[in-house]
């Protein structure tokens, strides 16, 4: 005991501390940092795609109600976002933005309170320019005040656009303008998701991390397949730039708006989820169909999009219009997407070794659309419908014997021509098609290019041939394999090679060739053929089936008349770079990226934009007599020399010889009497030269040479006599017009328009009503000056001159040209007003950006 008294004091203190550590509560641990704002891609709604400027308090509140009643809130959708046109056109006396009291009688704050009361969040729209795209006050120079205003109102999300931006076009300017709003939002102290919407112009994925939470990577989406396909192609390669709190944004969704098929809308949702894109709904949820809600509410896909790892799916392969994406998930699974952008059924495959899956003897696949579960040994494969996407959630599988094997049922079908009159059993004529990885190019332009053409002309002796392929991708042998083809009524499908096999080992294929006979009276169109493979699998020989559908394209000869060839879809199309572009040049790899066809300074509003290394094939059926066209190298990209050849069946009907850059268009006339197949070929020593078929007109049947070319076009304003009294709709906003020979698509003159930065409407009221009964669309040709411009069309109707507008704000880059088109069925009038095409009282076009813009040939078709 006495020795203990002699212990050093420090030792006693240490002992006491050790004892106390067992008795005292543990020290408080530092709290983990909060997740970043927008840790997963934002999910919500924006009114623009479905409503444009027609936004109001009732719509936003009822959409919030719909989020709750439809279960979309429970699925993860949170933001109810207001787009352009919500404010008055002038700021208030204090400089603040003023909500339009007619649209928002309770103000934005009142709407925010309502939305927050539903457990949701509210978004607003602003612009990094002097005015918004629709001409309302922008925030350039007002960043601090506007950010405080939005924060005071309770806004949770800002979409910040890029119109009227006063930019010098440099990336530094974009960074400066968007950083100014970032800093202003930070100073409010409110958490506001910041969506940068500069259309990918300055490559924001390279600089916007830390400034915005998401950034647009593309131009505006439209509700059609060409737009969706183009945007996927642009956004998919940007996976390295996305992650928690910073997302690539390929624009809002069009699902449910009616311009695409259910298959295409499922691709829309699938690829947005795989690309970890924001899921911002753009349809009217108050009237959305059950199918639309099922697509938007797919919990499995939402889980892939919202996975906490925050990884955008990487492109594993991308060839001939078939793409595979691979996305790791937080629980160790991987999402694998098989995407088919072509126009026909195609088998899309990837080996597990090409993905991030770890080595295993087998893998379990769960189809996120059907819920079906299958197993594969080493290849993930599916027959994917045209424009479709199959998404699997994949993980290693220890015991595959209890899980059904994955069986792919693919097919290849030639384009079909009905049999001869009389409906006998003579085999249907078919055209052999250029192949992209085994899949035929369909009877519309191929969007992916495809390299040097392989077609050598139609084979008149070929029967209508369908080839089916049943492939076992699972572990274990299939037994009693059989395949059937269910064709439309009146058609016949006869197997030419065996359609059965007793055993089919892993990765083995049963390939069957069928002869398809089509009655002579069958109209042109697309017809489904349902395919079914039956088999037995596993130790117990369990029965199972796999099905798919191939679409047969039936072509018939054109009807009598003279028509622009650009209005007829080719049976096959191969182009060295990008797609065939009707009525514009081939600008590059994407759809709709060209200008008006221009050869030797002559501008054409009709034609076929191709590149050398291209071949177009049309079925004429012996009913057409002549093709007249100009050919040449487009002024936008000098190259060549190139040669243009017209083939009537296998005989040369017209040839240009070498054509060089800058040369005037060379006219060709081809005699097509008795021709079954028309081929247009453009060639050069180096493929990819921009080669145009300008103003090609095809004559079929017994029609006079002076008969009108279809579709008929009616010029409303051509500016040959001057400005034709064009004026401005809003005098206070500025702008002038003058006749000019510098750009014209009809005659020798057009109209030069000096536009204010925020834009104005140019046109005029008419002395007498204009009757456009029978017309389906309005068009005008445009060439931008040193700055790009928006183009839009509106009309006034009836004695009250009611304003009717489409809301289709089409952008044209600086020094570029295009035809602006507005269909009458896209134009909306005020409530209670009918767009009477027989009583058009005024025609207007909208132009902006504060520079010179040239227009011509305002017309109805």
Catalytic residue, candidates 161, 333, 436, 781:
161
Bond prior to 732 in cis (omega within 30° of 0): no
Q: Is 448 within 8 Å of 400 (Cβ atoms)? A: no
220 an active-site residue? Answer: yes
Rounded CA separation 298/303 (Å): 9
DSSP 83: -
Helix (H, G, I), strand (E, B) or coil at 750: strand
Q: How many CB atoms lie within 10 A of CB 656?
A: 20
Rounded CA separation 304/40 (Å): 10
Picking from 439, 385, 408, the residue whose alpha carbon sits closest to that of residue 504 is: 408
H/E segment holding residue 346: strand 346-351
Q: Is 645 within 8 Å of 683 (Cβ atoms)? A: yes
**Residue 332 CB-half CA count within 13 A:** 7
Separation in Å, CA 92 to CA 109, 138, 538, 730? 16, 13, 75, 20
Helix (H, G, I), strand (E, B) or coil at 139: coil
CA 236 to chain centre: 12
Helix (H, G, I), strand (E, B) or coil at 824: helix
Rounded CA separation 738/745 (Å): 16
Q: Is 42 within 8 Å of 77 (Cβ atoms)? A: no
Residues 6+ apart with CB under 8 A from 560: 623, 700, 701, 702, 703
Q: Is 77 exposed, middle or buried (0-12, 13-18, 19+ CB in 10 A)?
A: buried
Task: Identify the sign of the CA torsion 67, 68, 73, 78.
Answer: positive
- Residue 390's φ and ψ, nearest 5 degrees, are -105, 130
Q: Which residue has the tokens 């009524």?
A: 489
Separation in Å, CA 521 to CA 39, 428, 488, 808, 811? 59, 12, 13, 40, 44
Q: Is 345 within 8 Å of 411 (Cβ atoms)? A: yes
Q: Give me the DSSP letters along 276-336.
A: T--EEE-S-TTS--HHHHHHHT-HHHHHHHT-TT--PPEEEEEETTEEEEEEE-TTS-EEE
Catalytic residue, candidates 84, 127, 220, 733:
220
Q: Which residue has the tokens 């349902």?
A: 530
Q: What is the largest CA-CA distance in the chain?
A: 131
Task: Identify the sign of the CA torsion 231, 233, 238, 244.
Answer: positive
Rounded CA separation 543/526 (Å): 32
Rounded CA separation 765/576 (Å): 47
Picking from 572, 460, 97, 71, the residue whose alpha carbon sits closest to that of residue 296 is: 71
Rounded CA separation 223/346 (Å): 24
Rounded CA separation 725/420 (Å): 58
* Number of H-type helices and E-type strands within the chain: 12, 54
Bond prior to 711 in cis (omega within 30° of 0): yes
Picking from 37, 84, 78, the residue whose alpha carbon sits closest to that of residue 210 is: 37
Q: Is 770 within 8 Å of 798 (Cβ atoms)? A: no
Picking from 684, 626, 693, 618, the residue whose alpha carbon sits closest to that of residue 653 is: 626
Residues 6+ apart with CB under 8 A from 147: 181, 184, 185, 187, 188, 192
What is the set of active-site residues? 161, 220
């Amino acid at each position: 005991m006495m020795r203990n008294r002699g212990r050093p004091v420090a030792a006693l203190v240490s002992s006491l501390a050790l004892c106390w550590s067992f008795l005292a509560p543990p020290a408080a641990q530092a709290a983990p940092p909060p997740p970043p704002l927008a840790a997963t891609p934002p999910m919500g709604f924006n009114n623009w795609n479905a409503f444009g400027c027609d936004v109001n308090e009732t719509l936003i509140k009822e959409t919030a109600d719909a989020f709750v009643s439809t279960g979309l809130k429970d699925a993860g959708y949170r933001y109810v976002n207001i787009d352009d046109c919500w404010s008055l056109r002038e700021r208030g006396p204090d400089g603040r933005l003023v909500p339009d009291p007619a649209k928002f009688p309770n103000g934005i704050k009142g709407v925010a309170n309502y939305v927050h009361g539903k457990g949701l969040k509210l978004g607003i729209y602003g612009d990094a320019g002097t005015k918004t795209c629709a001409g309302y006050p922008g925030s350039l120079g007002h960043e601090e005040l506007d950010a405080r205003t939005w924060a005071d109102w309770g806004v949770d999300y800002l979409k910040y656009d890029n119109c009227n931006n006063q930019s010098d076009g440099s990336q530094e300017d974009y960074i400066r303008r968007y950083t100014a709003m970032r800093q202003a939002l930070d100073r409010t102290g409110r958490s506001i998701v910041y969506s940068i919407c500069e259309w990918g112009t300055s490559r924001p994925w390279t600089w916007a991390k830390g400034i915005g939470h998401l950034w647009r990577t593309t131009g505006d989406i439209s509700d059609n397949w060409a737009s969706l396909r183009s945007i996927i192609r642009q956004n998919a390669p940007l996976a390295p730039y996305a992650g928690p709190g910073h997302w690539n944004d390929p624009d809002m969704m069009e699902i449910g708006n009616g311009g695409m098929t259910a298959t295409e809308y499922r691709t829309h949702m699938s690829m947005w989820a795989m690309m970890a894109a924001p899921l911002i709904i753009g349809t009217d949820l108050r009237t959305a169909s059950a199918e639309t809600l099922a697509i938007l509410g797919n919990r499995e896909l939402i889980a892939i999009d919202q996975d906490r790892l925050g990884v955008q799916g990487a492109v594993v392969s991308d060839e001939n219009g078939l793409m595979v994406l691979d996305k790791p998930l937080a629980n160790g699974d991987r999402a694998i997407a098989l995407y088919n952008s072509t126009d026909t059924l195609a088998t899309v495959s990837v080996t597990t070794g090409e993905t991030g899956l770890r080595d295993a003897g087998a893998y379990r696949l769960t189809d996120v659309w059907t819920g079906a579960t299958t197993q594969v040994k080493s290849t993930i494969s599916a027959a994917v419908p045209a424009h479709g996407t199959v998404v699997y959630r994949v993980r290693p599988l220890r015991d595959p014997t209890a899980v059904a094997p994955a069986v792919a049922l693919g097919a290849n079908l030639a384009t079909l021509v009905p049999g001869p009159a009389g409906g006998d059993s003579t085999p249907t004529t078919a055209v052999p098609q250029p192949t992209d990885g085994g899949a035929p190019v369909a009877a519309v332009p191929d969007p992916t290019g495809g390299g040097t053409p392989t077609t050598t002309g139609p084979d008149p002796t070929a029967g209508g041939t369908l080839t089916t392929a049943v492939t076992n991708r699972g572990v274990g042998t299939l037994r009693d394999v059989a395949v059937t083809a269910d064709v439309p009524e009146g058609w016949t499908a006869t197997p030419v090679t065996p359609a059965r096999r007793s055993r089919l080992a892993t990765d083995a294929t049963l390939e069957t060739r069928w002869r398809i006979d089509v009655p002579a009276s069958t109209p042109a169109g697309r017809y489904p053929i349902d395919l079914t493979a039956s088999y037995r699998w596993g130790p117990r020989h369990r029965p199972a089936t796999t099905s798919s559908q191939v679409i047969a394209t039936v072509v018939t000869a054109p009807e009598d008349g003279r028509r622009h060839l650009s209005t007829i879809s080719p049976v096959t199309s191969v182009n060295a770079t990008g797609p065939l572009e009707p009525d514009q040049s081939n600008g590059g790899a994407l759809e709709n990226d060209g200008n008006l066809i221009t050869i030797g300074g002559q501008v054409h509003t009709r034609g076929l934009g191709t590149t050398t290394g291209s071949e177009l094939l049309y079925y004429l059926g012996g009913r057409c007599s002549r093709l007249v066209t100009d050919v040449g190298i487009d002024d936008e990209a000098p190259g060549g020399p190139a040669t243009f050849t017209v083939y009537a069946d296998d005989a040369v009907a017209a040839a240009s010889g070498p054509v060089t850059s800058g040369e005037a268009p060379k006219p060709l006339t081809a005699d097509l009497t008795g021709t079954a197949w028309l081929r247009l070929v453009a060639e050069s020593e180096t493929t990819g030269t921009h080669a145009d078929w300008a103003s090609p007109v095809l004559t079929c049947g017994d029609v006079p040479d002076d008969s009108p070319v279809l579709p008929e076009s009616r010029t409303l304003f051509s500016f040959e006599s001057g400005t034709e009294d064009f004026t401005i709709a809003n005098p206070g906003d500025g702008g002038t017009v003058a006749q000019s020979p510098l750009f014209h698509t009809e005659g020798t003159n057009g109209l030069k328009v000096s536009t204010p930065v925020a834009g104005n409407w140019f046109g005029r009221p008419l002395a007498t009503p204009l009757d456009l009964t029978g017309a389906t669309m309005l068009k005008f040709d445009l060439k931008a000056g040193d700055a790009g411009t928006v183009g839009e069309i509106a009309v006034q109707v009836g004695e009250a001159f009611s304003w009717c507008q489409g809301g289709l704000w089409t952008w044209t880059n600086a020094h570029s040209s295009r035809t602006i088109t507005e269909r009458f069925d896209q134009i909306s009038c005020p409530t209670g007003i009918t767009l009477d095409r027989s009583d058009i009282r005024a025609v207007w076009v909208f132009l902006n950006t504060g520079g010179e813009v040239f227009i011509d040939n305002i017309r109805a078709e």
